[in-house]
Chain A
Amino acid sequence: DGGITQSPKYLFRKEGQNVTLSCEQNLNHDAMYWYRQDPGQGLRLIYYSQIVNDFQKGDIAEGYSVSREKKESFPLTVTSAQKNPTAFYLCASSQGLGVRETQYFGPGTRLLVL
């Protein structure tokens, strides 16, 4: 049963705290992505990775960091530098990097600031 899992479903962050969102895929996909969704806006790309040990900034990378040590895992850390972290975060993967590659999404993590 292949797919993408994200955990946790809900995450609470205190002021000044770093939190890490998990994303795992067993689709054997090379490319992985992190998006952020805010009310009334489309998905915005935070980071993407084409291959293990390589990743690139998207449109809104400030205040976020990622790692890609394993093909199946692409965790996102929301650092204290991200001043407005409350949002819905979606992870996705695709076979390759390219806009004609269908992206498969996880169920998302909603991050809330206490």
Chain B
Amino acid sequence: DQQVKQNSPSLSVQEGRISILNCDYTNSMFDYFLWYKKYPAEGPTFLISISSIKDKNEDGRFTVFLNKSAKHLSLHIVPSQPGDSAVYFCAASAFTDMRFGAGTRLTVKP
């Protein structure tokens, strides 16, 4: 029972363009959402988070949008850079329960 889904296993964008990574969840109890980034041979690292009381959180080139009614969140990277090429995991949480998506592999082409 996957409560958090990232339906696009991979995404390829051109350097300088916008990257949009999507994530859907099913449990309406989730109230805190995170994005992690993973390079090959390394563990995931925290990127950005958002609480359910907000609909947007921005940190430099990274912005996370939350649409609670649609149970959907997205990560926007603008402008995309080759160093952003990695696997991105979204996670949703409630209380002490955290669920991860399967990840989306982003490739930014020079």
Q: Which residues of A contact B (CB under 8 A)?
A: 4, 6, 35, 40-45, 90, 92, 97-100, 102-108
Contacts and interface: CB of A to CB of B under 8 A. Distances in A.
Interface residues on B, range: 20 to 34
B9 to A, nearest CB: 7
Interface of B: 2, 4, 6, 9, 32, 36, 41-46, 49, 89, 91, 93-103
Interface of chain A: mostly helix, strand, loop or mixed? loop
A43 B9 contact: no
B54 to A, nearest CB: 13
A59 to B, nearest CB: 9
Nearest to B5: A42
B43 A40 contact: no
B96 A90 contact: no
A40 B9 CA distance: 8
